[in-house]
């Protein structure tokens, strides 16, 4: 079978595209970095790919709100192509700013790109501490259906964001996500237990760091898996023998799924 192809979406201010492409290639993907304008000119080009990754960065400077303007471009110009992509059973991953884009375009939580409902139920608000923060955290994978990580796995990854506090509109929305097994990742300590700051680094409700759509094939998360694909990325590799680069798991699992 042909090697799965991944598209890394670029736009003004997206800035994690190169290392994301590196992580994808490391996992076995063929990949291309494609500017959103090229897709807007020719939305059908998306169909050539099996995996869409919206990487981190500050799309359009996060002016107005994080990810908002890129999400609007997708809503107004790429809704059809994206909805077909999802319907075809393909994979979508949004990292950090990409997660914000997925929420604001409607790809999460219900995998439906439509102006009627985009962003209406969950959002990523400013961190409780009110500022950008770069630090390493631990995550526990809590979803049985999420394609990108097996349930129960505990991984270390870095976060680097100012607007990453996961906020559902109300308890009902949160309940729906939990009942649907859509809460993919929670912030925990190294032992897998929840805790206050800095274990939960931004005040996310229910410690939620990432969610998936009802199918488990669309996922968004605030931490950066592409920043832990080499053992020397880990902040403590000089202290102890780090044997696994946890971020690789996400891309390998996607590759295995599509192969």
Partner 1 sequence: MTHRVEVRIRQGFGDPHAEGVLHQIRELGIDSVSAVRSARLFFLIGELSADDAGRVGRELLADPVTEQFTLSGCDANGASVIEVHLKGGVMDPVAASAERAVRGMGLGIESVRTGRRYELDFVAGIQESVSGEQQQQLLDKIATKLLANPVIEDIHFSSYTPPEVHGGSYELCVTEVPIRELDDESLEKLSSDNEMFLNAAEMRAIRDHYRTLGREPKDVELEMIAQTWSEHCGHKTFRSNVRVRNRAGEVVQEIPNLIKNTVFKVTQELDKPWCLNVFEDNAGVIEFDDDWAVCFKVETHNHPSAIEPYGGAATGIGGVVRDPIGTGLGAQPVANTDVFCFGPPDMPLDDVPKGVLHPRRVMRGVVGGVRDYGNRMGIPTVNGAVYFDEKYLGNPLVYCGTVGLLPKNKCRKRTPDPGDAIICLGGRTGRDGIHGATFSSGELTHVHETQFSHAVQIGNAITEKKMLDTILQAREQGLYSCITDCGAGGLSSAVGEMGEHIGAEVHLDRVPLKYAGLSYAEIWISEAQERMVLAVPQENVGKILKIFADEDVEATVIGHYGSRGTGVPPVEDAHATLRLFYEGQPVGELDLRFLHDGCPRPTKEAVWEKIEKFSPLPVLKGDCNETLLKIFAAPNVASKEWIIRQYDHEVQGGSAVKPLVGASEDGPGDAAVIRPVLDSRKGVVISCGMNPKLGELDPYQSALHAVDEALRNAVAVGGNLERTAILDNFCWGNCNKPDRMGSFVQAAKGCYDAAIAYSTPFVSGKDSLNNEFQTASGETIAIPPTLLISAISVIDDVSRCVTADAKEAGNHLFLLGRTGCAMGGSHYLIVENVESGNDVPQVDLQTNIRVMRAIQSAIEAGAVRACHDLSEGGLAVAAGEMAFSGALGVEMDLSAVPTGGASVPDAAKLFAEDAGRFLIEVSPDKYDAFLRLVADCPVGEVGKVTDTGRIVISGDDVGIDLPIDQAKAAWQETFDW
Asked whether 168 and 190 are in contact (CB, 8 A), the reply is no
Among candidate residues 161, 226, 233, 234, the one labeled active-site is 226
Asked whether 141 and 155 are in contact (CB, 8 A), the reply is yes
Q: Is the dihedral of CA 134, 198, 138, 62 positive or negative?
A: negative
Q: Strands 208-212, 183-188: parallel, antiparallel or unpaired by DSSP?
A: antiparallel
For partner 1, give the closer residue by CB, 90 or 234.
Answer: 234
Q: How far apart (Å, rounded) are the C-alpha atoms in residues 254 and 259?
A: 9
Rule CB under 8 A: is residue 131 a binding residue for partner 1? yes
Among candidate residues 138, 161, 224, 233, the one labeled active-site is 224
Q: How far apart (Å, rounded) are the C-alpha atoms in residues 239 and 209?
A: 27
226 is catalytic: yes
Rule CB under 8 A: is residue 22 a binding residue for partner 1? yes
In 3D, which of 50, 53, 15 has the Cα closest to residue 219?
53
Residue from 28, 58, 145, 178 touching partner 1 (CB under 8 A): that is 58
Asked whether 50 and 31 are in contact (CB, 8 A), the reply is no
Residue from 6, 34, 46, 69 touching partner 1 (CB under 8 A): that is 69
Number of residues that bind partner 1 (CB under 8 A): 62
CB of 169 to partner 1, least distance (A): 5
Rule CB under 8 A: is residue 252 a binding residue for partner 1? no
Distance, C-alpha 162 to centroid of its chain? 15
Residues 153-212 that bind partner 1 (CB under 8 A): 158, 160, 167-169, 203
CB of 3 to partner 1, least distance (A): 18
Q: Specify the residue for token string 């939580």.
A: 109
CB atoms closer than 10 angstroms to residue 199: 15
Site string for partner 1, 23-42 (x = CB under 8 A): x-----------x-xx----
Residues 204-223 that bind partner 1 (CB under 8 A): none
Counting Cα atoms < 13 Å in the Cβ hemisphere of 230 gives: 8
Rule CB under 8 A: is residue 128 a binding residue for partner 1? yes
Beta bridge partners of 136: 158
96 is catalytic: yes
Contact residues for partner 1, defined by CB under 8 A = 10, 12-13, 15-16, 18-19, 22-23, 35, 37-38, 56-58, 60-65, 68-69, 72-73, 76, 115, 119-123, 125-136, 158, 160, 167-169, 203, 224, 226-227, 229-233, 235-236, 238-239
- For the annotated catalytic residues, the residue numbers are 96, 224, 226
């Amino acid at each position: 079978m042909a090697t799965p192809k991944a598209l890394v979406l670029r736009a003004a201010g997206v800035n994690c595209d190169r290392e994301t492409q590196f992580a994808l290639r490391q996992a076995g993907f063929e990949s291309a970095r494609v500017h959103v304008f090229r897709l807007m000119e020719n939305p059908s080009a998306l169909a050539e790919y099996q995996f869409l990754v919206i990487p981190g960065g500050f799309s359009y400077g996060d002016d107005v709100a994080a990810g908002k303007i890129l999400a609007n471009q997708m809503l107004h110009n790429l809704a059809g192509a994206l909805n077909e992509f999802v319907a075809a059973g393909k994979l979508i991953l949004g990292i950090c700013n990409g997660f914000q884009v997925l929420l604001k375009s409607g790809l999460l939580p219900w995998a439906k790109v439509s102006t009627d409902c985009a962003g209406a139920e969950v959002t990523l608000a400013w961190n409780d501490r009110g500022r950008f923060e770069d630090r390493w955290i631990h995550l526990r994978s809590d979803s049985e259906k999420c394609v990108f990580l097996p349930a129960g796995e505990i991984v270390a990854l870095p976060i680097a964001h100012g607007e990453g506090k996961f906020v559902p509109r109300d308890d009902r929305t949160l309940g729906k996500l939990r009942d649907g097994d859509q809460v993919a990742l929670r912030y925990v300590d190294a032992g897998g237990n929840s805790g206050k700051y800095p274990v939960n680094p931004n005040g996310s409700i229910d410690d939620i760091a990432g969610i998936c759509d009802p199918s488990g094939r669309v996922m968004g998360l605030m931490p950066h898996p592409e920043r832990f694909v080499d053992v020397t990325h880990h902040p403590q590799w000089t202290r102890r023998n780090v044997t696994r680069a946890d971020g690789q798991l996400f891309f390998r699992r996607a590759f295995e799924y599509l192969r």
